[in-house]
Amino acid sequence: MSSNNFELKNPESGLTTSLPVRSGTIGPAVLDISNLNRDHGVFSYDPAFAVTASCDSKITYIDGDAGVLLYRGYPVEQLAEKSSFMEVAYLLMYGDLPDATQLQEFSGSIGRHTMINESLLRFFNGFHHDAHPMAMVSAVVASMSAFYHDSTDIHNPRHREIFSHRIVAKLPTIAAAAHKHSLGQPFIYPRNDLDYCSNMLSMFFAVPCESYTVDPIAAKALDLLFILHADHEQNASTSTVRLAGSTGANPYAAISSGVAALWGPAHGGANEAVLAMLEQIGRVENIPKYLGMVKDKSSHFRLMGFGHRIYKNFDPRAKIIRDMCHQVLAKLGRNDNPLFELALKLEDIALKDEYFVSRKLYPNVDFYSGIIYSALGIPRSMYTVMFAIARTVGWVAHWLEMISDPNMRISRPRQLYTGPVRRDYVPAAQRKTLQEA
Ligand code: ACO
């Protein structure tokens, strides 16, 4: 790390001050304003945190202009091609790729933590059959905070590790229970003889009255999607987990807050919204009409799965998933998928349209992921849950990094107050309505 200084002049006093500029290993430098208020009596103002680095992190690096994504330094393209989700989970959580023994021990530990407490399973009965699975998953993950009192001392590194294995292992089980509850089918217990994604497919699609064989093509496709969704530095849900966790909150509750933040259509909920949008557009001939609606701001219509706060170029994950759609649909014998054809055409037309070109709006990770989930038979309301399963690894990695930092403090943004100035209380009988005043 190197540092130099940035000169800032106070227009009122004319005094000049020096603010340190800090550089990371790669990427733009940051201006360290942590002493701005103490030294100058002002705060910085950055709604939506568009230009604010909230922490130091060694986990994930994004160059949005170049379309680069690195997990612990490794390009996501290489990991997608050569690695597995379990290996990537280890990499994100522990900092380095595991050797063969470490991978076996880690996968074994995740495998041994897949069951959920039977009492927790009964929570699902409290939900209506048509409850959105993200609501169920968020509630049940938060409820896990009531179960592991013996092992959630956040200051104990071994407790932190047990928590991290438990949550990564149990998320697919909770997701599958939500799915089975929606269908009214009996819950299928996890199978520890299967790998992470095969077990998930088994819990989703097996029924007690028939034998079920996992399709290896489906398991491989899911594994790849999970690698691509595993982490994305300080996105809204990860920042939510960090913020909740910074209070010393129970880590299961902190992860639950991440699930809730992910659900929004501007974030992970976009994968579900993309499929709804493609169905709404319906046919290639209708694309110009919908692009017209995008340009009419009063319509509030956006192309879901397009645009990103950081990427002003192709989201590298979207490129991989688009290629994967061709392969997976062909292998599953579903290459005549009309929604995929429509999505390809929509991308093609939008990328030539001045509106999208001038705003640097490209397809993001969610534009094509729903097409693969749908080909795997996963219902639309479960798409964001799939995202949550993969991103749990990233949330855990960030929570671990934050909690083990000796300089961790509670996160607490400031504000620019624009409300009424001080005024005195008037008893109700003496108050005048606005019209009378
Ligand atoms: N369709 C149409 N116009 C868009 C879109 C879109 N998908 N995204 C951005 N724009 C326009 C905005 O209207 C704005 O135009 P203006 O300058 O004329 O007002 C301009 O592009 C900049 O957009 P902002 O909303 O300021 O960009 P921001 O960085 O705040 O938002 C976001 C990023 C939320 C992802 C946005 O692009 C969006 O809503 N996309 C659709 C939802 C989506 O796909 N979300 C998933 C993101 S990936 C993830 O979280 C996993």
pLDDT digits (tens, 9 = 90+) for 94-104: 999 999 999 99
pLDDT digits (tens, 9 = 90+) for 80-94: 999 999 999 999 999
274, pLDDT greater than 90: yes
Top mutation candidate among 308, 349, 366 for ligand 1, by most atoms within 8 Å of CB: 308
Least confident window among 209-223, 319-333, 408-422: 319-333
Q: Percentage of the chain surpassing pLDDT 90? A: 89
Judged against a pLDDT cut of 80, whether residue 135 lies above it is answered with yes
What is the 266 CA–ligand 1 centroid distance (Å)? 8
Averaged pLDDT score across all residues of the chain: 94
Q: Which amino acid is at 364?
A: N
Give the nearest ligand 1 atom to 235 CA.
50
pLDDT score at 54: 95
Give the pLDDT score at 1.
43
Q: Which two tokens stand for residue 18?
A: 């020096």
Whether residue 353 lies in the annotated active site: no
**Which pLDDT tens digit goes with each residue over 338-382?**
999 999 999 999 999 999 999 999 999 999 999 999 999 999 999
User: Is 366 tagged catalytic?
Assistant: yes
For residue 230, the model assigns a pLDDT of: 98
Atom of ligand 1 nearest to the CA of 50: 29
Is the pLDDT score of 116 beyond 80? yes
Q: Whose CA is nearest to atom 14 of ligand 1?
A: 359
Contacts of 322 (CB under 8 A, 6+ apart): 344, 347, 363, 367, 368
Query: pTM, whole model, 2 decimals?
Result: 0.95
Own/partner pairs for 312-315, CB < 8 Å, 24+ apart? 312/64, 312/65, 312/360, 312/362, 313/64, 313/65, 313/66, 313/67, 313/360, 313/362, 314/67, 314/362, 314/363, 315/67, 315/362, 315/363, 315/364, 315/365
Which residue, judged by its Cα, is nearest atom 24 of ligand 1?
309
Catalytic residue among 308, 315, 323, 405: 308
- pLDDT reported for residue 76: 98
Q: Pull the structure tokens for residue 214.
A: 């996992």
How close are the terminal C-alpha atoms of the chain, in Å? 61
> What lines the ligand 1 site, CB under 6 Å?
266-268, 270, 294, 302-309, 359, 361, 364-366
Site to probe by mutation for ligand 1, drawn from 49, 235, 361, 385 as the one with most ligand atoms within 8 Å of Cβ, is 361
pLDDT-derived band at 2 (thresholds 50, 70, 90) equals very low
